[in-house]
Structure 1
Amino acid sequence: MDFKRIEVIFLIVFVCLNIFLFTSYKQNQHVETVNNDDVSQSTMILREMHEDQITIPKLATKVHSGYYLSSQPNETLKNASQKLQNQRYSFSNDRLYSRLVRPINAKNGKYTEELKEILANPRMIAFGKHYRYSKLFSTTDRIVYTQKLPEGNLYDAHGEIIFQISGKQIVSYEQTYINKVATLREKEATITEKQAVLALYSNNAIANGATIKWTTLGYSRLLDANNSSVYIPTWFIAVENKNSGNVQIKRINAFSSVLMKATDDANLSSSTSS
């Protein structure tokens, strides 16, 4: 047996093993350093928020996932509205505006209970079963329902029903609706609730002394292009101003952590009374 040859083979294996172990160690050290840097940065930002007297709830670190979605304008809602009864309605920019012939009364102010039957009736509300009541976006004078998509809730001006309250009665509503939603890419991971709030603060979008009232994740419009609208997962963050008491709803892109500009929807992205 050629012991010299065996000795050389063992030496080569030993060197290769050491190179592998050293490379793995350096990679793990790098990952650990990156993770430690992330933790340190988060800790530093949270400390700064505390110094600015910003009140925040316990923030989740769960990673969600979502899609890039798209839809195109169509006549679906306008066609369905031809079956509506007991109301006078009109359209403007694909938005239905309706005035009820008989205002809806609610016992003890429980408007959502009264609206269950209305939403289930296609002669009163077109596609009513495709919407879900949103307490977060509703106020004392309007009740907001947001459209449900297979991929998640849509919090956007293009998919909502807003019931107007006057004299303790529901007197009118406005509605938008999207359909034929297409996915543009494979499912992707989103940032966490905690990362979204920290990103909002890093963008100087939270005033000193403010309070984070709530957060929620849903789809909202990113852009309009080529006669299509693109929607992405978005963190909605409600910030209460210390001095005025008003609540302003901010949006953070759940893919990129970028602060999104205010939408044209006064109900889902503007100041409201707390």
Structure 2
Amino acid sequence: MDFRRIEVIFLIVFFSLDIFLFLSFRNSQQLVSSTSTNTSTVTEMRKRNISFGSLDTKNGNAYYLGSQPDDSLAQNVQKLRNQKVEYENVNHTLVSTLNNPITVTTANRTEVMNKFVKKESNILFGKDYKYAPQLSSSSQMIYVPTGSLGEVYDKTAQLVFSVSEGEVVGYTQTYVKKLIVLHEKQAIKSEKEVVTNLYANSEIPNNSKISYANLAYTKLLEANDSTIYIPVWFVTIRNKDSKVSTTKKVNAFTGNIIKSSTNGDNYSAQ
């Protein structure tokens, strides 16, 4: 595809994005932002037995990113060994069943699979992925792409291993070769602002622990065969009594709590 055509496509996509953002802004929630309010909120959270580490107060920057469908997996599938592979053209997804399942334990599975991922005859572009414990569970090990623009927590670019009875039996993989910056960088909400806002909106229950608070890109919308990503805070909260974890998502630009996934994903943290 020539550069001019790509440029036209992303102009159309970004116009769609502008409309979406305008409508979202009209219904946006206000973020609790004053220093004094945040400080008192943190104190109140600790009194209610909510555990968390030091909360970063720095407001960083992030982008609107875009990508287009990519068939790099299909073009390189012949490099894979010792596995039965199928490629789904519609979703650009590679599905693999390992000829020899890999035995893992709770203690060693990260180390074992990190080594497996780095070998190109095992996983295509494996060096571009990083293990994401926040998204993983006892039955799935999820790896996400990481690069200079940040990590991507989204099923459009993800490596998911299936674990059954102590064995990794196969995986599904999606891949984005290149992320394109659609707009100049913008300020984002700090970790402290996001966490205190979640509490103020009754999203963090008493007697719980914030086990993860990570910033990553996730899909906002699709338009003209292109995907637009925005930065989102993924905050995982673990109930100290039930031991059940839930992950809350917050738009890093606006501070709005994402009540339902923009892309249908339901992540289950460990």
Smaller-chain TM-score bracket: 0.7 to 0.9
CA deviation map 1:228-261 (0-9, x unaligned): 2111222110111344321111111111101123
What letter matches 1:64 in structure 2? G
Q: Which of residues 189, 192, 195 in structure 2 aligns to 1:194?
A: 192
Tell me what 2:252 maps to: 254
SS of structure 1 residue aligned to 2:34: helix
Tell me what 2:125 maps to: 127
Tell me what 1:180 maps to: 178
Aligned CA distance change for structure 1 residues 192 and 168 (closer, same or farther; 3 Å):
same
CA contact (8 A) 1:162 1:175 kept: yes
Aligned CA distance change for structure 1 residues 107 and 168 (closer, same or farther; 3 Å):
closer
Determine whether 1:76 maps to 2:65: no
Once the two structures are superposed, the pairs formed by residues 1-274 of structure 1 within 5 Å of their partners are: 38-50=34-46, 52-92=48-88, 93-106=91-104, 109-260=107-258, 261-262=260-261, 263-266=263-266, 269-270=267-268, 272=269, 274=270
> Unpaired runs of 5+ in structure 2?
1-32
Kindly state the Cα deviation for residue 43 of structure 1 after the two structures are TM-superposed.
3.3
Output the CA distance in 1 between the equivalents of 2:140 and 2:217.
21
Kindly state the Cα deviation for residue 190 of structure 1 after the two structures are TM-superposed.
1.6
Output the CA distance in 2 between the equivalents of 1:107 and 1:213.
22
Higher relative contact order (CA 8 A, sep 6+): 2
What letter matches 2:65 in structure 1? L
Aligned CA distance change for structure 1 residues 124 and 56 (closer, same or farther; 3 Å):
closer
CA contact (8 A) 1:157 1:264 kept: no
SS of structure 2 residue aligned to 1:119: helix
User: Once the two structures are aligned, what percentage of the paired residues are identical?
Assistant: 35
Higher fraction of helix: 1
Kindly state the Cα deviation for residue 209 of structure 1 after the two structures are TM-superposed.
3.1
Equivalenced residue count is: 234
Query: Greater shift after overlay, 117-126 or 182-191?
Result: 117-126
CA contact (8 A) 2:114 2:131 kept: no
CA deviation map 1:166-198 (0-9, x unaligned): 232221111111122110111222211100112
Query: Greater shift after overlay, 221-230 or 181-190?
Result: 221-230
Kindly state the Cα deviation for residue 117 of structure 1 after the two structures are TM-superposed.
4.3
SS of structure 2 residue aligned to 1:42: helix
TM-score, normalised to structure 1, is: 0.75
